[in-house]
Amino acid sequence: MIADLLPDVVASAWRRDDTEPVTLFPEEAASVARAVVKRQREFATVRLCARLALRRLGLPETPLTPGARGEPRWPHGVAGSMTHCAGYRAAALARTEDVLSIGIDAEPAEPVPEGVLEGVSLSGERRHLEALADQAPGVPWDRLLFSAKESVFKTWYPLTRSELDFDEATVHFEPAPAGAGPGGVGTDGPAHTGTFTARLLVPGPVTGQTRHDHFTGRWLVREGLVLTAIVLSR
């Protein structure tokens, strides 16, 4: 499903569970040796997805160990992002000659726990979500906002190597007209999709002569999942 949100220059792969056998590189296995079994399994499956994406780019498999922030260390010349939640694992990769950074996120399509929305949103965003809920009550807009901000951070971090708080970007959603984009009917009813813009409230990353003060992305709610993706093109 994540491929529905990505341009052709981005290779991706996804799995719905951890049943497929995966042999980790020794460096990868060492990084999760003390983790619980559930964490080890999702760690392995999301790296399987990344290897499949590398293959689709015509690149060899390589150890993908986590960095200081838990982010995957990609091979030279590759930009990418991983995500995992209950019932979904995915990776999206591209060559850096085409893409500067990628951020993807998957979440269960259900409301966030009580109190979380206030911690991840600005007052203007909450008013925006209230208006959207009147237009499309079938979308868990609070969860979608959380997911979009996760994708914003995953796009931001490789370019800056610095933190970005939830209140340092504001997100605006645009639902697609009915029948537009990657729709269809999932196991839980019709899909919802659209685009979003994240405006940075702190100085954005600079690449070359360009400062990036906003990111644009796409979103999809289908088959019990919320998916968001940002691809910052070169």
Neighbouring residues of 121: CB distance < 8 A, sequence distance ≥ 6: 129, 142, 145, 166
Domain total in the chain? 2
Residue that is last in its domain, among 72, 97, 122: 97
What is the pLDDT at residue 183? 56
User: DSSP string covering 65-80, please?
Assistant: -B-TTS-B-PPTTEEE
Residue that is last in its domain, among 57, 78, 97: 97
- Is residue 221 located within the same domain as residue 174? yes
Residue 135: its H or E element: helix 123-135
Residue 187 has pLDDT above 50, yes or no: no
Residue 54 has pLDDT above 60, yes or no: yes
Domain holding 66, by residue range, is: 2-97
- Is residue 150 located within the same domain as residue 40? no
Residue 184 has pLDDT above 60, yes or no: no
What percentage of the chain reaches a pLDDT higher than 90? 91
pLDDT band at 36 (very low <50, low <70, confident <90, very high): very high
pLDDT in tens, 65-89: 999 888 999 999 999 999 999 999 9
- Is residue 110 located within the same domain as residue 61? no
Residue that is last in its domain, among 97, 121, 156: 97
pLDDT band at 182 (very low <50, low <70, confident <90, very high): low
Average of pLDDT values for 199-204? 97
What is the pLDDT at residue 149? 98
